[in-house]
Amino acid sequence: MIQTAAFATASKEKPTLNISVVTNDFSNDLLTTLSENYMGVNHYTTLDVALENALSDGVKGIMVLADNYPNNTTTFTDSQATKINELNVRIYVEYPANNETLGIVEYNGTGTMGYDRAIVMDSTALSMDLYSLLYVHGAQYVAKTDIANAWLVNAKVAGYDTVEYYDEKGPTDCTPYSMLEKNSLGNVLIASTKLSQFITARYVPCTRWQSLWLAILSWVSQSEVTTINWTPAVNPNYSATEELADNAYAEAVRLNTEWYINNMLDTRDGVGIYQCYLSGQMFDAFGSQGKQTGFRADCNGESIGAIALAGVVLNNQKYKDIAYKTMDWMINKANMANGKRSDPTNDQFGLLSWYDDDGMDPKYLEWYFGDDNAKAILGLILGASALKTDEFDKRILEAILANFRTTGVCGFRTSSLDGADLEKNGWEYYYNRQITNYRPHFEALLWACYLWTYDKTGYKPLLERTKIGISMMMNAYDATMARDNDSGSGQWMWTNGMQQERAKMIWPLAWLVRIEPTKEHVGWLDTIITDMMAYQDADTGALRDAFGETGEGKGEFGPFASNMDYGTHESPVIQKNGDPCTDSLYTSNFAMVTLNEAYAVMAANGYTQKALEYKQYAKSISDYHVRIQQVSDTNSKYNGVWFRGFDYKKWETYGSDGDAGWGIWCTETGWSQAQISSALSLQILDTNIWDYTSGTTINRCFADTVQTMLKDYYK
C-alpha cells in the first residue's frame, strides 16, 4: 500500500495544533487524520461543550464538521454565534446555513458538483498555482455566487491541471460558486460542502489536497502547519519504481477476477456481466460511483475470455464455470444474441446487439457497432479456447459472417448499422457498397476477426476484402502523417485520440503478417508500432495518450473547446498533447494485447531483433498496468480495478474527467478490465491469441453456415 505523504515530518514528535474538532462521526476522515498527525487535537461531539472548554483548552480555533451532510446544513444558535465572536477564536465550518452574526450570508439553495471541479482563486492563501484544479467528487454544496473573498470556487471548466479558458476576471463562460472563503469579520472560514470526507470520497490530487488542508489548518490554528499525510482509500498497487513480485501478473489477474465476481456479476442468477462504474457526473454526494448495470455484448464477450483465461492461469474451476455459464447465457438466452439475431430469415441474423434490452432503451437492441461486435467475438473465441469447448462455434461464426456480409467491397463497414435500415435495405446492399471509413477504432478489430476466420477456413473473400481495406487505411495513414490536408476524406479520423487508432490497427496488421509476411505488410506493422511507442514515458513505461497533432487527421471527440463545452460529449483524458496521462479504456489496454501479437508474429517469421523490441514494449506497458492496478482495504468496489485514466507523474488516478460517462474513473468490464487481464494471462502462459486459439474446430460448421448467410455470394 502506498502512502501519499508529500511532506516529511522533521522529527518523530508530532507537531501540536491546539484546535478542537466538533463531530459525532468518530471515523470522520479529517478527525482521524488530525489524530494521527498531531498533538493538541481536542474532539467534542457538541459545539456548546467545545466553546465552553475553549479557554481552558487554550485552543486557537474550532473546526465544525458537516455531520448531517447532505440532508441538512450546519447551523449555529444565536448564543453560539455570539460566543464565537466574543471568544476571539477562529472557526472552520462545513456546509453551513446562513448566519448573519457570523457573517455567513448569501448562501441560497444547494447545488451538485456534477462536472464541476474546485478551482484555486487565492494562490497565496492556498500555496497553489492560480486556477489549479481539484476534484471534489459528487459533492453537494450550498450555493453562493459572490466569490469576491473566495480562496476556492467550484465551476464547470475545461483543463487538465489548471483552467484552460480564462481572462483577467477569471474562468470564462461558467458560473463559479464559492467553495472556501473567509467571512467579512475574518474569524470564520466557510466551506460550502463537506471537505472533511476527502479520503473516503477519494478527492484528488493528493498533493493539492495536502496543500489545501495545510492552508486551512494553518489558518484555524493560527500557526504554521507544514506537514500532513494520509493513506488514500484506493491506491495503485505499486510505486513507479518498486520491483514487481514474482507472481505480480498472476496476482493482478486474480484481484481483477475477484473484482468481477464481487461487483459485476448479475446478482439475480449469477450470469451476465454489468458494464462498469461510471465517472464524470455519476458520483454521489459521498464520492461513490454509479454502476451501469446494462448488459453489453462486447463487455460480456471480452469478459468471458478474460475470466476463462484467469481460470486456466490460476487453475481455478470456479472462474471457468462462471465464464461458461455467462457464455451459455449470452449465446443461448440473452436478447443481444437472440430474437431477430437468431432468425436466419432476418437481415439482422447473427449480429450482436450493442446493449441487451433488459432495463435499457429497447432501441439499443438493434444498434450494431462493428468494433463492439468484434470485441465480443474475439473474447468469445478466446473463452472457447480456454474452456476447450466447440459448443458455441456456430453462433460465433454466425456473428463473424453477419458482420462480414454487411462489410462493403473495399473492406469497410462504417461505424454502426441500424436494424431497421438493415431490414429495409437488405444485407446485400451493404455487402455491395463501395464505402470507406478511415477509422481503425471501428474497422480494425473486425479485420482481425476476418483474418482469423480466413486462416481457419480458407474462405478467400475474407482475406481479399480485408487486404483492400487495410491497404487503403495505411495509404490514408501516410497522408495523415504527411499532414496532407488537401483531402480530409483521405485521412484518418481519430475518435478520442490518435493513439487509440494506432493501438487497434496493430491487431489486424500483425495477423496479416501471419498470413502474408511480405516486406510491405511488415513495414506497415512497424510503422504503426514505432509511431505509437514514440509517446512512451521512459521512466515508467506509461504509453502517453495523444490526439492528432496539428494537421494529423480529424477528431470526432477532441479536447474541450470552451469551459461550457466540458462534460457535453465523449473526450480524451487530456486537454493538451503532453499532459502526462494514460488511457486504459481506449489505448494502452489494447496496446498490451496487440504488441504481444506483433511480438509473436515477428518471432515466428525470423525478425528476431524486432520481436525482442516488441516484446519489451508489451512487457513495459504490462508492468505499468500491474503497478497502477487499484487496491483498497476498505472499498471492495474498486479493489482490483483499472480506472480509465492515470497520471504517471502524480502517480495516481487523475486526468480530464469531462467525458460524457466514461471518464477518468470509469471501470469498463470489457475494454479495460478484460483486455488488460487477458493480456497479462497470455504473457503468463507465454502465448498469444493467434497461437492459443489455433486448435479451434470452427471450420467444421463453416460450409453450412456460409451458404446460409451469403447465399448466392458464396463461392
pLDDT along the chain (715 residues), means of 10: 33 86 98 97 98 96 98 98 96 98 97 98 98 98 97 98 96 97 96 98 98 98 97 98 97 98 87 95 96 95 98 98 97 96 98 89 94 98 98 98 98 97 98 97 98 98 98 96 72 95 98 98 98 98 94 92 97 98 98 98 98 98 98 96 98 97 95 98 98 97 96 81
Relative orientation angle of helices 608-628 and 674-684, to the nearest 10 degrees: 130
What's the distance, CA 45 to chain centroid?
40
C-alpha cell at 209: 489536497
The one-letter code for the residue type at 157 is: V
The DSSP element (H or E) to which 4 belongs, if any, is: none
Give CA 245 to chain center in angstroms. Answer: 25
- 230, 233, 236, 239 alpha-carbon torsion, rounded to 10°: 20
Task: Take residue 476 and report the three cell numbers written for it.
Answer: 490514408
Tell me the domain boundaries of the chain: 16-233, 236-712
Q: Are strands 276-277 and 170-171 parallel, antiparallel or unpaired?
A: unpaired
Closest CA to 571 of 507, 628, 500: 500
CA-nearest of 509, 531, 360 to 443 is 509
Q: In 3-state terms, what secondary structure has residue 699?
A: helix
pLDDT tens, residue by residue, 61-119: 999 999 999 999 999 999 999 999 999 899 999 999 999 999 999 999 999 999 999 99
Residue 657 CA, chain-centre distance (Å), reads 9
Distance between terminal CA atoms of the chain? 60
**451: exposed, middle or buried (Cβ count in 10 Å: 0-12, 13-18, 19+):** buried
Separation between Cα atoms, residue 113 and residue 521, nearest integer Å: 50
Give the pairing of strands 188-191 and 39-44.
unpaired
To the nearest 10°, report the CA torsion of 653, 654, 658, 661.
0
On the 0-12 / 13-18 / 19+ scale of CB atoms within 10 A, 449 is: buried
The total number of residues written for the chain in this structure: 715
Asked if omega into 70 is within 30° of 0 (cis), the reply is yes
Longest dimension (CA), the chain: 95
Q: Are 269 and 346 in contact (CB under 8 A)?
A: no
Using CA atoms, how far apart are residues 400 and 395, in angstroms rounded to an integer?
A: 9
CATH of 16-233, one of 3.30.300, 3.40.50, 3.40.30, 2.70.98: 3.40.50
Fill in the DSSP letter of residue 496.
Answer: S
Rounded Cα gap, residues 697 and 695, in angstroms: 6
User: CB 490: neighbour CB atoms within 10 A?
Assistant: 16
* The three grid cell numbers given for residue 111, joined into one nine-digit string: 447545488
CA geometry: angle 243, 245, 251, nearest 5 deg: 130
DSSP assignment of 429-452: HHHT-------HHHHHHHHHHHHH
For residues 336 and 329, give the distance between their C-alpha atoms in angstroms, rounded to a whole number: 10
Cβ(116)–Cβ(155) below 8 Å:
yes
Q: How far apart are CA 380 and CA 669, in angstroms?
A: 14
Grid cell locating 193: 460542502
**pLDDT at position 73:** 98
- 236-712 belongs to CATH 3.40.50.1100: no
Which residue in 640, 648, 644, 641 sits closest to 624, CA to CA?
A: 648
What residues does 417 pair with on adjacent strands?
368
How many Å apart are CA 669 and CA 674, to the nearest integer?
Answer: 6
Q: Is residue 393 packed enough to be buried (19+ CB in 10 Å), middle (13-18) or exposed (0-12)?
A: buried
227-245 pLDDT, tens digit each: 999 999 999 999 999 999 9
Alpha helix locations (H) across 497-607? 498-515, 519-533, 588-604
Instruction: List C-alpha distances in Å: 702 to 327, 395, 462, 603, 698.
Output: 20, 11, 13, 30, 7
* pTM score: 0.96
The residues near 316 (Cβ < 8 Å, ≥ 6 apart) are 257, 310
Instruction: Return phi, psi of residue 531, to 5°.
Output: -65, -35
CA atoms within 13 A on the CB side of 533: 22
Across the strands, what pairs with 63?
21, 92
Quick one: cell of 598?
Answer: 506483433
Question: Measured between alpha carbons, how far is 318 from 309 in angstroms, rounded to an integer?
Answer: 12
- Tens of pLDDT, residue by residue over 599-624, are 999 999 999 999 999 999 999 999 99
pLDDT value of position 483: 79
Place of cell 444547494: 110
Whether residue 352 contacts residue 399, with contact meaning beta carbons closer than 8 Å, is answered with yes
Q: Are 149 and 105 in contact (CB under 8 A)?
A: no
